Structure 1
């Protein structure tokens, strides 16, 4: 499935293809942001598309990507099981918990959980 703009709980979301290209650089993140300008206010990216450096906070890659989305006023949603990454990093657990308390970056296990969050936030 290609990346597709979907209405999810009344919110236009660019739902990214799980088989799409990896997100391994700021340029890759900017490409997603550009695609979102078709009308999305959120971008749902499968966790498996992120380079493992995203989940290793010492690389600062996650912070750079998240900041790009904030700057362009788009919500970034990381969708999928990241439990192995969370088990390996207390700092990542703290980041995920803090992010999920706010509106700019969310980590959710699946699209159904995203729909619930969007409906609750709506």
Structure 2
């Protein structure tokens, strides 16, 4: 795993770059947000491919638990991916509602993620 630092509008954003999945469990998500928080970043960009597919099945509670930790630490998150492939109404609604408040963002590109995290 590699962290690339972006500074946009005086906001420090960590782009997490990895070949494999880095969040396979709730504990992995907690550890990532804590590590980034203590490195004084304001936001994190993650790629969908680096998160377990279970995250996108809202019934198991993984997404809620992980995203609550981001909120508790006040670290904003952008997840980059192609979310059109998810057919579940609940995940579509969750993504729509999350994107409204700018704390948790589901975006299609790095540029969009950086823009949303720096506003």
Normalised by the length of structure 2, the TM-score is 0.88
Distance 1:115 1:28 in 2: 23
- The residue aligned with 1:34 is 34
Aligned residues: CA RMSD: 1.7
- The residue aligned with 2:101 is 102
Deviation at 1:9, TM superposition (A): 4.0
- The residue aligned with 1:25 is 25
Distance 2:74 2:58 in 1: 22
Deviation at 1:31, TM superposition (A): 1.9
- The residue aligned with 1:113 is 112
- The residue aligned with 2:6 is 6
Deviation at 1:14, TM superposition (A): 1.0
Is contact 1:2-1:20 (8 Å) kept?
no
Per-residue CA distance 1:49-71 (angstroms, 9 max, x = gap)? 11111001111111011001111
- The residue aligned with 1:51 is 52
Structure 1 residues not aligned, in runs of 5+: none
Per-residue CA distance 1:13-69 (angstroms, 9 max, x = gap)? 110014254311121112211221211111111011111110011111110110011
Deviation at 1:5, TM superposition (A): 2.5
The 10-residue stretch of structure 1 (93-102 or 71-80) with the greater mean CA deviation from structure 2: 71-80
